[in-house]
């Protein structure tokens, strides 16, 4: 069967390579963290409206993660989701394959420059409000592979990160602690903005 190649495979590879080189050139500095933690004193003097409280409760108690599992930390995430450390009790057991339906990206694994445009694309496709937990040492700073020629030194070069979770890999208990920290951050965000 004659296959007429409009784009040859080599051209596709060159296009991908150019996109990666451009992303490297753009990502030389880390993106600053969004939503600095609220000062403790302010919290006591603000009354939260009931609509806000309901919205917050809805957002944080059923955050759906998107599928983004490059490397080893993925298996600690899968273990967290299985029956011993159950993620269902936080409403998070559904891993949404479509980024449009998800609001949390748990980046479980080392990011390489070749993979970076794809992860950025998935992040851009997620609808607001969205959060990112950088899971593991490789996600925070490149980890044990930081000095390698093809590893991105931390996900915060390409996407803004909300919670950093150290460990190599972090135990499931640590991942649950990180998720609860994110819940607290979501609660405080609406207090800070006084909506």
Partner 1 sequence: MTLALSGKDIAKQIEKKFPGGVVESAAESLLVEAESLLEIAAYLKNTPGLDFDYLTAVSGVDYLDCFEVVYQLTSLEHNHSLVLKTRCYQRDNPTLPSVVGLWRAADFQEREICDLFGISFTGHPNLKRIFLWEGFEGHPLRKDFL
Partner 2 sequence: MATTAKTKEIVVNTEPFVVNFGPLHPSTHGVFRMKITLDGEVIVDMEPVFGYLHRGIEKLGEERTYTQVIPLTDRLDYLASMSNNLAYCLAVEKLAGIAVPERAEYLRVIMAELQRIASHLIAVGSFLTDCGAFLTPVVYMIRERERILDLFDMVCGQRLTYNYMRVGGVSQDIPQEFMPALAKFLREMPGWIDEYERLLKENEILLARSKGVGILPRDLAIDIAASGPVLRGSGVKWDIRKADPYSIYDRFEFDIPTGTAGDCYDRYRVRVEEMRQSLRILRQAIKDLPRGEVRSEVPHLIRPPAGEAYGHIEAPKGDLGFYLVSDGSIAPYRFHVRAPTLINLTALADMIRGWKIADTIIIFGSIDICMGEVDR
SS3 content of the chain, % helix, strand, coil (to 5): 45, 10, 45
Minimum Å gap between C-beta 165 and partner 2 is 15
Residue placing its CB nearer to partner 1 in the complex, 117 or 167: 117
β-partners of residue 163 are 133
Looking up tokens 């007429």 gives: 4
List residues near partner 2 by CB under 8 A.
Answer: 1, 3, 9, 12, 67-72, 75-76, 78-79, 82-84, 95, 97, 109-110, 112, 114-115, 118-119, 122, 144-145, 147-151, 168-169, 171
Unique residue bearing structure tokens 């208990």: 173
Binding partner selected for residue 10 from partner 1, partner 2, none, CB under the kind-specific 5 to 8 Å limit: partner 1
Q: Min. distance of Cβ 76 from partner 1 in angstroms?
A: 25
**Rounded CA gap, 43 and 187, in Å?**
11
Residue 153's binding partner, choosing from partner 1, partner 2, none, with beta-carbon cut-off 5 to 8 A by kind? none
Residue 1: partners with Cβ closer than 8 Å, 6 or more residues away: none
The least CB distance from residue 22 to partner 1, in Å, is 10
As measured in angstroms, the least distance from the Cβ of 111 to partner 1 is 14
- Phi then psi for residue 181, to 5 deg, are -60, -40
Name which of partner 1, partner 2, none residue 47 binds, using a CB cut-off of 5 to 8 Å depending on partner kind: none
| All residues at 6 or more sequence positions from 17 whose CB lies less than 8 Å from its CB, including other chains | none
Provide the binding-site residues for partner 1, judged by CB under 8 A: 10, 13-14, 16-18, 20-21, 113-114, 149-150
Smaller CB separation from partner 2, 152 or 186? 152
Contact 139, 105 (CB under 8 A): no
The arrangement of strands across the sheet holding 163-165 comes to 104-108, 131-135, 163-165
| Residue 14 interface partner, choices partner 2, partner 1, none, CB cut-off 5-8 Å depending on type | partner 1
């Amino acid at each position: 069967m004659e296959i007429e190649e409009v784009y040859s495979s080599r051209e596709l590879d060159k296009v991908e390579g150019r996109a990666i080189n451009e992303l490297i050139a753009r990502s030389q500095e880390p993106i600053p963290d969004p939503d600095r933690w609220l000062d403790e004193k302010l919290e006591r003097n603000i009354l939260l409206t009931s609509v806000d409280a309901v919205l917050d409760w809805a957002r944080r108690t059923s955050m759906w993660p998107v599928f983004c599992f490059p490397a080893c930390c993925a298996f600690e995430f899968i273990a967290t989701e299985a029956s011993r450390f159950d993620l269902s009790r936080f409403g998070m057991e559904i891993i949404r394959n479509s980024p449009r339906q998800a609001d949390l990206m748990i980046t479980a694994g080392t990011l390489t420059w070749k993979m970076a445009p794809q992860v950025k694309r998935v992040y851009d496709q997620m609808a607001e409000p969205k959060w990112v937990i950088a899971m593991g040492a490789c996600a925070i700073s490149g980890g044990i592979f930081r000095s390698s020629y093809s590893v991105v030194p931390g996900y915060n070069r390409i996407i803004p990160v909300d919670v950093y979770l150290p460990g190599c890999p972090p135990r499931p208990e640590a991942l649950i602690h990180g998720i609860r920290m994110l819940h607290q951050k979501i609660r405080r965000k609406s207090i800070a903005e006084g909506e």
